[in-house]
Amino acid sequence: MDYRPIDHSFLPIGTHLIIKNPSYKIAADNNTIIHSNNPEDVIIIEHHNDELFGDIKWSTDLLNEKEVEAETADDFQSYGDDYFISNNYTAAIDEYSKGIELEPQNITLLANRAEAFLRLSQFRNALGDAEIILKYEPNHIKAAFRKGKALCDLKRYHEAIITLQDLHQRLETDTDRSNAPIKQSTEQLLEHVKILASENKNGKYDYTRIINEYCERAKIRKGSRHNDEWIYKSGPRLDHTDFLFEDIEIRSVEGKGRGWIAKCDIPENTLLMVSKAFSVVYSHEVLRHNMQSNITSDKTTCIASSLCNEELITRVTQKLLEEPYHCQEVYQLYYGLNLGKPDKINEHLVNVDIIGNIIKYNSFVLESGIIVENDLNGVGLWILPSYFNHSCVDKNVSLFLLGDLMFVRSLRPILKGEELLISYRSADSSYEIRSRYLNSIDIDCKCRLCELEKSEAPETTYRKTQLINTFEKLIKPKILNNDDPSLIKRIEKIISELRNLRKEHPDLEFDTLELNKILSFVYHKNGNPKAALSILKEVYNLYKNVHLQIINYIILDILSLCIELKQMEEAREWFDIVLKRLTGPILGKFEDEVNWKKEAYYVAEKIFPVMNSKAKLLGLISDNFN
C-alpha cells in the first residue's frame, strides 16, 4: 500500500525544538540520533522567539553553499525567486527574509514575500509586509492589492472593501497598460469581497451557485503516477465565508463542559451558523494509489481514516506553527483534560499531543449530502461546530456539508435557554455501536434512548439481539430471490415481538424500521402494493418527527407506491414532504414558494437524483428542466 508521506516542510531545517529526557541511539544508517519515547516531551517552538533564543548562538557543520556565497539582498532575492517559481514558497520566504534582514526597507523583497505568504495562506504575515510597503510607498499598487486580499482572507471584509475601492479608483485613471491585469483582478476581488461580506453579515448564500461550485471543484482525474488528484488545485475547498446567528452563544453546560445555547426562541429551519473548516483532509490526498484488490473495503476505509487523521494533525500543527495566533481558538476546544474552564495555553508553544487529542474529540467525518462523481471521504476540523453537544435521539440541529463549508440549521422550534444538540451517531444504530464510539470520546450519553437501553433487563436485550440475528441470517438473505409468502408471516412475527419488548416506548423502538421497509417490499413483490403502502404510512406517522436518513427513503417508497396506484394527488403531497426534508437543511424555510421550489427541485436532484424522475412523472417539472 502506498500513501503520501508527511510534508517535508513539517520540520524544516532551523525548526526549534525542546526535548525533555532525550536519549542517543544509533539509527539504521549508523548515524547518531536524538530519541524520545514520549511525544509530550517534544515541544516545537515558534521560529522567531527571541525571548527564549535571542542570546543563543547556533552552529552546524551542514553549511549551505548559498549561505556562504550570498552577501547581498539581490542574491537572496534571486534565490527566493527561483524557489517561488518552483512553488516552494516556504524556501522562498526564508530567502526573502534573509535579504530583508540586510535591507529592511527593500520594497521588492517585501512585496515578493507578501505574495509568498498569501500562497501559503499566511494572511497575517502577508498583511504585515503589505502595510510596511505602503508605509514607504503609499501608491504601491501590488502592495495595496495584496493588502486587500490578506484582509479578505482574514475575514476583515469592511477594511478589505475600503482598501480595494481606493485601489480601484486609482486604477480607473491609470493609463499604464501594464496595470490592466491587476485592474481586472481588483475589480473581480472587490465584487467577491462584497459577496463574502453579505454572507458573513446577513447569512445570505446563493445555494445553487455554491452547489454547482462544489460539484465542479470535486472533480478528480488520474495523475501522472496513476493517483487520484484534484482537477482544481484545492479541490472542493470553497471560497465562501462564515456566518453566525446572533441569538446563540456558547455557555457552560452541566456535565458537558460547554455548548451552544439559544438566547431567545428560534423558529424551525433558522440558519444558525455557516462554518468554514479550519482544515480538512480527503482520503485520496493521503492514499497515493487505489488500494489493492485483495484488501477489503472495510479495511481500506479504516486505513484511509487513520491516515486522514494523521494528516489532519500534521496540517493543523503546520498551520499553528506558521500562524500561532490561531492557537488560542484551537486550544479552547476540548482535548480530554479541559472539560471545565479551558486551560490557558502559551500561544508560542505548538503541542502536537494536545493537537492530536483535539482532532480525536472534535473532528467531523466528511459526509457530503450532495452526490458527485467521486465518493469523497475524509475528516476535518471545524472550530465553532465543535461546541455542539450530542444527543442520540433529541437533536434539534442539522448539519449539511458542502466541501469545507458546514451549514447548521434548527430542525424544529427551539426555546430560549434550550441547548442546541446534534447526533454524533444515528439513533437507529445499536446501543453497542453508539456507546462504543461515545465512550471513546469520553461521552456518557444520558438521552432518553440511552437511559432506556441502560435500564432494560439483560433478558430483554438478549431476546432483542436473538430476534435481529434470526432476521439477518435466516430471512434477509432469501428476500431478493424469493417471493415466498411465508416470509411475510415470519417478518411480521419478529416485528411484533420487537415492538412488544419496547411497548411502553414505541417512539424509541428503532429496530423495526428496516424490517418494516423490507416487509413492505415483500408485500409489494407478492402483488399487494396497498398493504405495502399501508405499512410504510404507519411507520412514517410514528417516526415523522425523528430525523433519520431511513425515513427519507421510506417516504420515497411511499411516493413510488402512490404513483403506481395512480394516487397522483397524494403522491404530490408526499413529494412536497420529502422535498422539504431533503432540502430544508440547506435551503431553510421558503418565503416565495414558487422560486423556493424551483431551487429545491435542483438541490433535491443533487441529493437524490431519483427526485427528478419522480417530479416529471407527477408533472411538476418538464423534461427540459435544468
Domain of 506, CATH number, reads 1.25.40
Q: Are residues 317 and 370 in the same domain?
A: yes
Cβ 24 vs Cβ 34: under 8 Å? yes
482 has pLDDT over 90? no
Identity of residue 590: F
Position 5 scores a pLDDT of: 39
Mean pLDDT, residues 601-621 taken together: 83
Q: Which of 170, 202, 234 is the last residue of a domain?
A: 202
Instruction: Please provide the DSSP assignment of 607-618 as one string.
Output: H-THHHHHHHHT
* C-alpha cell of residue 172: 480607473
pLDDT per residue over 110-153, tens digit each? Answer: 999 999 999 999 999 999 999 999 999 999 999 999 999 999 99
2 has pLDDT over 50? no
Q: Are residues 28 and 88 in the same domain?
A: no
Instruction: Please provide the DSSP assignment of 486-548 as one string.
Output: HHHHHHHHHHHHHHHHTTT-GGG--THHHHHHHHHHHHHHTT-HHHHHHHHHHHHHHHTTS--
30 has pLDDT over 80? no
pLDDT per residue over 370-407, tens digit each? Answer: 777 777 889 999 999 999 999 999 999 999 999 999 99
Q: What is the CATH number of the domain that holds 153?
A: 1.25.40.10
Q: For residue 211, is it within any domain?
A: no
Q: For residue 548, is it within any domain?
A: yes
Identity of residue 182: I
Angstrom CA distances, 481 to 190, 477, 487, 516, 524, stand at 61, 8, 12, 18, 14
Cβ 452 vs Cβ 507: under 8 Å? no
Q: What is the CATH number of the domain that holds 326?
A: 2.170.270.10
Q: For residue 210, is it within any domain?
A: no
Task: Give 546's DSSP letter.
Answer: S
Q: For residue 216, is it within any domain?
A: no
Triad 532, 535, 541: Cα angle to 5°: 140
Q: Which of 402, 424, 446 is the last residue of a domain?
A: 446
Q: Are residues 440 and 459 in the same domain?
A: no
Q: Are residues 30 and 149 in the same domain?
A: no
Q: Are residues 349 and 429 in the same domain?
A: yes
Residues in the chain: 626
Please tell me the distance from the alpha carbon of residue 96 to that of residue 116, in angstroms, as a whole number: 10
pLDDT per residue over 415-450, tens digit each? Answer: 999 999 999 999 999 999 999 999 999 999 999 999
Average pLDDT, the chain: 87
Angstrom CA distances, 306 to 160, 317, 374, 378, stand at 39, 17, 20, 10
Cβ 584 vs Cβ 558: under 8 Å? no
pTM beyond 0.85, yes or no: no
Q: Which of 418, 446, 474 is the last residue of a domain?
A: 446
Q: Find the domain containing 47 and state its range.
A: 8-53
Q: For residue 622, is it within any domain?
A: no
Q: For residue 317, is it within any domain?
A: yes
Q: Are residues 326 and 352 in the same domain?
A: yes
Q: For residue 207, is it within any domain?
A: no
Q: Are residues 422 and 558 in the same domain?
A: no
299 or 97, higher pLDDT: 97
Instruction: Please provide the DSSP assignment of 213-266 as one string.
Output: HHHHHT-EEE-TTS-EEESSTT-S--S---EE-TTEEEEEETTTEEEEEESS-B
Q: Are residues 375 and 501 in the same domain?
A: no
21 has pLDDT over 60? yes
In 3-state terms, what secondary structure has residue 543? helix
Q: Are residues 376 and 479 in the same domain?
A: no
Q: Are residues 226 and 101 in the same domain?
A: no
Provide, rounded to the nearest whole percent, the portion of the chain with pLDDT above 90.
64
344 or 376, higher pLDDT: 376
Q: Are residues 546 and 505 in the same domain?
A: yes
* C-alpha cell of residue 447: 438521552
Cβ 187 vs Cβ 342: under 8 Å? no
Q: For residue 2, is it within any domain?
A: no
Choose the weakest-confidence range: 167-171, 569-573, 593-597: 593-597
H-assigned helices in 296-430: 297-322, 327-331, 352-362
289 or 228, higher pLDDT: 228
Q: Are residues 47 and 103 in the same domain?
A: no
Please tell me the distance from the alpha carbon of residue 465 to that of residue 432, in angstroms, as a whole number: 11
* C-alpha cell of residue 314: 500534521
Please tell me the distance from the alpha carbon of residue 413 to that of residue 269, in angstroms, as a whole number: 8
Cβ 394 vs Cβ 257: under 8 Å? no
Please tell me the distance from the alpha carbon of residue 255 to that of residue 339, in angstroms, as a whole number: 9
How many structural domains are present in the chain? 4
